[in-house]
Chain A
Amino acid sequence: EVQLVETGGGLVQPGGSLRLSCEASGFTFNSYWMHWVRQVPGKGLFWVARISHDGSSITYADSVRGRFTISRDNAKNTLHLQMNSLRAEDTALYYCTRDYDCSGNSCQLYGMDVWGQGTTVIVS
């Protein structure tokens, strides 16, 4: 079964840090771009960060750049999000998801087709 499982959320004071993890199973993790997307309950979806399949390319939303660091360990099929200098507005449910499939000669976009169940971060 293709699955993503996020862990690491919790309650943290403003200015504090948390490290989220996302464990992948059931697919070739090192073939996919991975993303973090967050959502305030009852609100919309906000894209946070992305890392390419081999970790060579990383992109952040402006509001988290310089505070958050996305990384991956392909040997352990795990994605991470190190969150520093947390603010109240970072409070949300954080999902990991995948999109670009780079298993072929080129990367193909199939949409964010697998999502975890999310992990909740509360900054208060």
Chain B
Amino acid sequence: EIVMTQSPDTLSVSPGERATLSCRASQNVNINLAWYQQKPGQAPRLLIYRASTRATGVPARFSGSGSGTEFTLTINSLQSEDFAVYFCQQSNNWPRTFGQGTKVEIK
């Protein structure tokens, strides 16, 4: 099983600043990596797939990069609605696995 490890667990950021979230896979997942945002009481929302492609309707301030085992989600100029938990997920191998999540909170 591929273990996905996200860092940090919590990120404190001021509105308007940039947030950089990391995700590391225990094995090569190529670019089969997605990022999701989840707010309290809501289902996850797809942000990025294939490591760097924004999903439909996702603002351009969200960007993804990386391949292999190291991935990054960058959120530029954080807006109030961006404070949430973010998960990475690999689709390269079975079972599909998720990271433990990074909470982005208001500083």
Contact = CB atoms under 8 A, between A and B. Distances in A.
Contacts of B45: 115
B100 A112 contact: no
Given A45-B44, A111-B46, A113-B55, A59 B95 contact: yes
Given A111-B34, A112-B89, A47 B97 contact: yes
Given A111-B46, A112-B89, A44 B32 contact: no
Interface in A99-122: 99, 109-113, 115-118
Interface string B87-100: 10101001111111
- Chain A contact residues: helix, strand, loop or mixed: loop
B18 to A, nearest CB: 23
B35 to A, nearest CB: 9
Number of contact residues on B: which range applies? 20 to 34
A95 interface: yes
Contacts of A59: 94-95
Interface of B: 1, 32, 34, 36, 43-46, 48-50, 55-56, 87, 89, 91, 94-101
